[in-house]
DNA sequence: AAGTTAGACAACCGCTCGAAC
DNA sequence: CGTTCGAGCGGTTGTCTAACT
């Protein structure tokens, strides 16, 4: 027996709220307080689902809301909070008085996500990373879906099975958002033509230097951002969702560890929290799974090693259990080569975290 | 000028969780 | 202790509109 629906949909109004409906809802809630959303529509005389009323009140009618005009400061907060909290919009909204989770979520999806993804390194991308990137394609999923739907409608229902078209050249005002705007070919071919000296690399270098990372280490990273079409990468292949997820995992590592510890799921109970040791958990299927950077760094008692082989463009790992996500991380951390162990513990973690934070702030600048 | 596309925002849906029964 | 319900959350879809072709 399934759960009863929150309300009968039949006969209820949907879609945009009218000023009259807003007025009725506002007056009712002001008179009777929030809550009892299920019964509210009937009592207030609204032909709306209770959930819809709640959403409308919380997101638009409450008197303490600040609508629109997200300031630069708020934007920065959203970015930082998202980096540490992930898609927990309500938590993020809790740090921004007058803002709602829905507003922040929309703002992220329509502004910040695009801003971050406009960064488009096109060069030495290890195959595993490229595959992971191709696998997701989340950045353009919506646009593609729309386009596909339109094509189907046009073609009378035939599914469009064509390659994903690349985004069009940004408009001038939007180019300001894109650090790669200067790379965009203007002949409408959408080919990416890197300048002699990539502004990407310059900006990355600046940010990393500002964060105090030694230049020698930075040099080890920058090959990531140069061009190598022989890799078979196409313009737009790299969306940063995966990378950002990985970064999020790192930034939010402490919280994650705490949560795992609290929930008692941590299978490394004897090891957790001690420097250099792994922090693996058992997933729902009973398999080992990682919870972010910590796990990559080492498994209990083992060193780890990654090495990107430039000759055949294949990756080999010191531990076959490491998967694609870890490849992504090691690629980000150390460019073409990642080798080492974590016995030096927190200082090593700090160094790498610093590098990542620098990269994050660059991505979000 | 008309059709098309994509961005931005609003709203909905399905799921989870905790409290009440 | 199991079930039901309300509330909340995050993902997804719908709608409007400006920009583009």
Can you tell me the mean pLDDT for A23-28?
85
Rounded distance in angstroms from the CA atom of residue A103 to the C1' atom of nucleotide C21: 32
Tens digits of residue pLDDT in A153-175: 444 433 333 322 222 222 223 23
What is the model's pTM?
A: 0.46
Average pLDDT for chain A: 48
- Name the residue closest to B10, CA to C1': A16
pLDDT band of residue A351 (cuts 50, 70, 90) is low
A216 in contact with nucleic chain B (CB within 7 A): no
Proximity of residue A15 CB to strand B below 7 A? yes
Say yes or no to pLDDT of A253 above 50: no
Rounded mean pLDDT, A102-124: 62
Nucleotides of chain C in contact with protein CB (under 7 A) are 4-16, 19-21
pLDDT at A238: 31
Which residues from 134-193 of A have any strand B atom under 7 Å from their CB? 143, 146-147, 150, 154, 165, 167-168
Summarize the confidence of residues A319-340 as an average pLDDT.
32
Using the CA of A114, give the nucleotide whose C1' is nearest.
B7
pLDDT at A133: 35
Residue A15 pLDDT more than 70? yes
Query: Which range, of A48-62, A95-109, A244-258, averages the lowest pLDDT?
Result: A244-258
- Residue range A53-89, pLDDT digits in tens: 888 888 888 877 877 777 877 887 887 787 777 778 8
A7 pLDDT band, cuts 50/70/90, is low
Residue A360: what pLDDT? 45
Query: At A145, is the pLDDT very low, low, confident or very high (cuts 50, 70, 90)?
Result: low
> What 3 state SS string does chain A have?
CCCCCCCCCCCCCCCCCCHHHHHHHHHHHHHHCCCCCCCHHHHHCCCCCHHHHHHHHHHHHCCCCCCCCCCHHHHHHHHHHHHHHCCCHHHHHHCCCCCCHHHHHHHHHHHHHHHHHCCCCCECCCHHHHHHHHHHCHHHHHHHHHHHHHHHHHHCCCCCCCCCCCCCCCCHHHHCCCCCHHHECCCCCCCECCCCCCHHHHHHHHHHHHCCCCHHHHHHHHHHHCECHHHCCCCCCCCCHHHHHHHHHHHCHHHHHHHHHHHCCECCCCCCCCCCCCCCEECCCCCEECCCHHHHHCCCCCCEEEEEECCCCEEEECCCCCCHHHHHHHHHHHCCEEEECCCCCHHHHHHHHHHHHHHHHHHHC
Residue A30 has pLDDT above 50, yes or no: yes
Q: For C18, which residue's CA is nearest its C1'?
A: A171
pLDDT of A281 strictly over 60: no
For residue A10, what pLDDT band results from cuts at 50, 70 and 90? low
**Percent of chain A scoring above 90 in pLDDT:** 0
Supply the pLDDT for residue A179.
29
Q: Is the minimum distance from the CB of A51 to strand B below 7 Å?
A: yes
pLDDT at A277 over 60: no
- At A100 the pLDDT is 84
pLDDT at position A45 over 80? yes
Local confidence band at A178 (pLDDT 50, 70, 90 cut-offs): very low
Q: Which nucleotide is nearest to A151 (CA to C1')?
A: B4
């Amino acid at each position: 027996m399934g759960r009863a629906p929150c309300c009968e949909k039949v006969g209820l109004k949907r879609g945009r709220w009218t000023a009259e409906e807003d007025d009725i809802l506002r007056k009712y809630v002001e008179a009777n307080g929030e809550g009892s959303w299920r019964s509210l529509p009937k009592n207030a005389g609204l032909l709306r689902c209770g959930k819809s009323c709640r959403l409308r009140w919380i997101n638009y009618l409450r008197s303490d809301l600040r609508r629109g005009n997200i300031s630069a400061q708020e934007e920065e907060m959203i970015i930082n909070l998202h980096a540490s909290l992930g898609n927990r919009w309500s938590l993020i909204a809790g740090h921004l008085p007058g803002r709602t989770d829905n507003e922040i979520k929309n703002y992220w999806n329509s502004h910040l996500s695009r801003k971050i993804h406009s960064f488009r390194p096109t060069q030495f991308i290890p195959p595993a990373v490229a595959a992971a990137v191709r696998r997701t394609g989340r950045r353009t999923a919506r646009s593609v879906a729309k386009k596909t739907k339109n094509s189907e409608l046009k073609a009378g229902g035939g599914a469009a099975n064509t390659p994903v078209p690349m985004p069009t050249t940004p408009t001038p005002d939007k180019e300001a958002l894109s650090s790669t705007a200067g790379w965009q070919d203007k002949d409408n071919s959408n080919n990416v033509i890197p300048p002699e000296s990539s502004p990407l690399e310059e900006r990355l270098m600046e940010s990393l230097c500002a964060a105090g990372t030694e230049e020698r280490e930075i040099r080890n990273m920058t090959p990531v951002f140069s061009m190598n079409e022989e890799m078979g990468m196409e313009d737009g292949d790299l969306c940063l969702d995966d990378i950002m997820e990985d970064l999020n995992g790192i930034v939010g590592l402490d919280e994650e560890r705490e949560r795992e510890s609290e929930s008692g799921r941590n299978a490394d109970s004897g090891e957790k929290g001690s420097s250099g040791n792994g922090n693996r958990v058992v997933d729902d299927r009973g398999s080992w799974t990682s919870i972010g950077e910590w796990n990559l760094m080492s498994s209990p008692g083992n060193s780890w090693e990654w090495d990107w082989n430039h000759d055949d463009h294949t990756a080999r790992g010191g531990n076959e259990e490491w998967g694609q996500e870890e490849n992504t991380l090691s690629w980000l951390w150390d460019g073409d080569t990642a080798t080492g162990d974590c016995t030096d513990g927190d200082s090593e973690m700090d160094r790498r975290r610093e590098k990542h934070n620098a990269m994050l702030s660059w991505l979000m600048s």
